[in-house]
């Protein structure tokens, strides 16, 4: 397939969606959940997303002839993965807080 080189993806849109959003995004979401489950902070999640974005760039390079050392597309992958990871973190943390401190909501309602 031919490279499209847009602002968001360097490979085709379908390859970007498959590798970055579905595969790496799923890993980012699960990493966010794992960080929330062990009560770690967002800083450690960001460190893991930096590493996951590097692996994602390598997959684009190895499978779809993308550019390995492209700062622009690395930052795009990183932003997408951080957003997905933070969603997983916030969803899990909200459930934890509701379970742990559910009595606070009952006092405010009554």
Residue 24 domain-assigned (yes or no): yes
Residue 64 domain-assigned (yes or no): yes
pLDDT at 7: 65
Residue 76 domain-assigned (yes or no): yes
Mean pLDDT for the chain overall:
88
pTM recorded for the entire structure: 0.85
How does pLDDT run across 41-85, given as a tens digit for each residue? 999 999 999 999 999 999 999 998 888 888 999 999 999 999 999
Which two structure tokens, joined as six digits, stand for 13? 């849109």
Look at residue 110 and tell me whether its pLDDT is greater than 50.
no
CB-CB contact of 49 with 35 (8 Å): no
Task: Domain count for the chain, please give it.
Answer: 1
Rounding to the nearest 10 degrees, give the CA dihedral for residues 96, 100, 103, 109. -10
Residue 3 domain-assigned (yes or no): no
Residue 60 domain-assigned (yes or no): yes
Residue 6 domain-assigned (yes or no): no
**Residue 35: how many CB atoms within 10 A of its CB?**
24
pLDDT at 31: 97
CA-to-CA distance for 66 and 27, rounded, in angstroms? Answer: 21
Residue 87 domain-assigned (yes or no): yes
Domain containing residue 57: 13-109
């Amino acid at each position: 397939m031919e490279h499209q080189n847009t602002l968001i993806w360097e490979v085709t849109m379908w390859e970007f969606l498959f590798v970055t959003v579905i595969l790496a995004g799923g890993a980012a979401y699960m990493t966010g959940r794992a960080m929330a489950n062990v009560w770690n902070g967002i800083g450690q999640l960001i460190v893991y997303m930096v590493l996951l974005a590097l692996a994602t760039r390598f997959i684009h390079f190895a499978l779809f002839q993308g550019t390995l050392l492209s700062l622009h597309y690395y930052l795009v992958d990183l932003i997408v993965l951080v957003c997905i990871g933070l969603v997983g973190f916030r969803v899990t943390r909200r459930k934890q807080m509701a379970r742990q401190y559910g009595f606070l909501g009952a006092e405010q309602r009554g």
